[in-house]
Amino acid sequence: MTTTDRLTALEIRAAEQEKTIEELSGEVAAQWKQIERLQKKLDALTDRFLALEEHAAPPIEARKPPHW
């Protein structure tokens, strides 16, 4: 294998690795956006659940037991 062949092979490998890195970076960015959307939905559902829980449970009165 000549020096030119080795250099060409290295350049091809570097180009393929650069393409792979760009693809992975795009995937990570897409997953991050999805995580942010899911976090917003989770926050909204948590707020909704807490609001429903407040309205569903009657307030508990503090009073002395009958035997006192």
List, for residues 23-58, the tens digit of each pLDDT value: 999 999 999 999 999 999 999 999 999 999 888 867
Number of structural domains (the chain) is 1
Asked whether residue 66 is domain-assigned, the answer is no
User: Distances from the Cα of 6 to the Cαs of 3, 14, 16, 18, 55, in angstroms?
Assistant: 5, 12, 15, 18, 73
More confident residue, 60 or 28: 28
Q: Give pLDDT, residue 68.
A: 61
What pLDDT is attached to residue 37? 98
57 falls within a domain: no
Q: Name the residue with higher pLDDT: 15 or 53.
A: 15
- Asked if residue 55 is part of any domain, the answer here is no
Number of H helices, E strands in the chain: 1, 0
In a domain, 39, yes or no: yes
The boundaries of the domain holding residue 8 are 1-43
Distance of alpha carbon 9 from alpha carbon 13, whole angstroms: 6
